[in-house]
Amino acid sequence: MTLAAFNLSGQLSALQAQSLKRTPRALSHGVTPTVWRGGKEYLNFSSNDYLGLASHYALRDAVSETLNQHGIGAGAAHLITGHTDLHERLEQRLAQVSGYPRALLFSTGYMANIGVLDALLTPKSTLYQDKLNHASMIDGARLSGAIHRRYPHQDLATMERWLETDQSELKLIATDQVFSMDGTEANLPELRLLAEQYQAALMIDDAHGFGVRAEPLPKVDVYMATLGKAIGTFGAFVAGSDELIEFLQSRARTFCFTTATPPILAAATLAALDVIETEIWRRERLAAHVIRLRAALLEQGWQLTDSQTAIQPIIIGSAEKTLALSKQLEEQGILAVAIRPPTVPVGTSRLRVTLSAAHSDDDVGRLIEVFGKLNLD
């Protein structure tokens, strides 16, 4: 048996024909707002660096100061010898910032979601989740073996009808808080009411919201957030009760059986949390950019979602046309990446524009100007 039997060349040809083939393109340097690729400078409107912290001097200084003491890699899993005093301090700080008794670090948000769902759920459990949840939630459900029901996006009435007849021993509702491709937010108050009424646990993935809000969200049973977006570093954490964290430390396979994140990243994340507390203007500037961009693009006639967040998708429709518009933007020195199926449903390909506090008013003005001149034909 060889890979030839899998007809990879045929599958790749089919992806190419549908404008769905993907290939990474390397940047030489830069994050937000300016990056370089192939010797050319671009304004980057495709980063999740919402507060502009990924290259902040305080984070770089924290890494430099920690390097001699801890080196680069952690060298082992947290449960072996990879857990340092910096990891310990960071978990305590993340618990405090998110408003929970305890927090547990994971290497990525993907690993956090998979680890939590696989640890908590059994084949006698039922998981309810939004149709547009991140792929990590879907894969976690598959691994758990639980009964898996995906309600239409934001359609809580449908989920309630399912809950009314559910006789499962264990029920868990899981949702993105900010949906990564739409930018819209889950109805957390209503979700909390449903979870309480039907004796279900509630888990949220706040990857695209953590750090941007001035205040923590209302409490849920399981809170997950990532550190590679607004925080500007890397990794993720789960926050919750003492019992939840103690259980995950022993039963979440993606925590137990992987190397801890580098201690220098923990130091950088602690520095980022300090910056967010003191440089309040970053949130304020980001909010102003969102308001300005939405008003301008709607006036130009573009189709937007209802997002009030840093994620501002422009719905185009076909994958081919979306790719063409992304190329036009690139020719004008702007990176706004085309998002296509299976990341989003067929017929809803989009330019996913993301804003950052690192963008200046002139940067946003340039983006608006170029969108006003794009050729849709």
CB atoms within 10 A of CB 93: 16
Whether 377 has a pLDDT exceeding 80, the answer reads no
**CA–CA distance, 44 with 42 (Å, rounded to integer):** 6
What is the pLDDT confidence band of residue 29, given thresholds at 50, 70 and 90? confident
Greatest alpha-carbon span in the chain = 61
pLDDT (tens digit per residue) in 114-130: 999 999 999 999 999 99
The class that CATH gives domain 57-277 is alpha beta
Q: Which DSSP helix (H) or strand (E) runs through 317?
A: strand 311-317
pLDDT (tens digit per residue) in 129-168: 999 999 999 999 999 999 999 999 999 999 999 999 999 9
Sorted by where each begins, the domain ranges of the chain are 21-50+280-371, 57-277
State how far Cα 142 lies from the chain centre. 20
CB atoms within 10 A of CB 305: 19
What is the pLDDT confidence band of residue 30, given thresholds at 50, 70 and 90? confident
CATH number of 21-50+280-371: 3.90.1150.10
**CA–CA distance, 82 with 80 (Å, rounded to integer):** 6
CB atoms within 10 A of CB 137: 26
**CA–CA distance, 96 with 90 (Å, rounded to integer):** 10
Give the pLDDT score at 1: 57
**CA–CA distance, 39 with 177 (Å, rounded to integer):** 38
* Lowest mean pLDDT, pick from 12-21, 108-117, 253-262: 12-21
- Burial class of residue 326, CB neighbours in 10 A (0-12, 13-18, 19+): buried
**CA–CA distance, 41 with 18 (Å, rounded to integer):** 30
- Domains 21-50+280-371 and 57-277 equal at CATH topology level: no
